[in-house]
């Protein structure tokens, strides 16, 4: 039986907390684009997901 999680959002990394509402995943607020890139890549590696840029200051990490 396969119990792996697929097709879910694992985390959100944002420069603008007011653009994100709480929900089913952790939200990481950062203060610069460089920090956003670094945190997003580290989370993606650790969680085994992919980073997606919404081009509005919000990245999300998802598992496909």
Structure tokens given for 53: 């840029």
2 belongs to a structural domain: no
- For 1, other C-beta atoms within 10 Å of its C-beta total 2
The model's confidence at residue 62, banded by pLDDT at 50, 70 and 90, is very high
Does residue 42 lie in a domain region?
Answer: yes
Range of the domain at 56: 8-18+25-63
Backbone angles phi, psi at 35, to 5 degrees: -65, -40
Number of structural domains (the chain) is 1
pLDDT digits (tens, 9 = 90+) for 26-52: 999 999 999 999 999 999 999 999 999
CA 14 to chain centre: 8
Q: What is the mean pLDDT of the chain?
A: 92
Please indicate, yes or no, if residue 1 is contained in any of the structural domains.
no
Is there a domain that residue 3 lies in?
Answer: no
Q: What local confidence, expressed as pLDDT, does residue 22 receive?
A: 74
């Amino acid at each position: 039986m396969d119990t792996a999680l697929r097709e879910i959002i694992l985390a959100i990394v944002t420069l603008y907390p007011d653009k994100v509402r709480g929900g089913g995943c952790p939200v990481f607020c950062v203060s610069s684009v460089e920090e956003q890139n670094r945190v997003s890549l580290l989370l993606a590696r650790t969680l085994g997901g992919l980073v997606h840029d919404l081009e509005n200051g919000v990245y999300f990490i998802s598992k496909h």
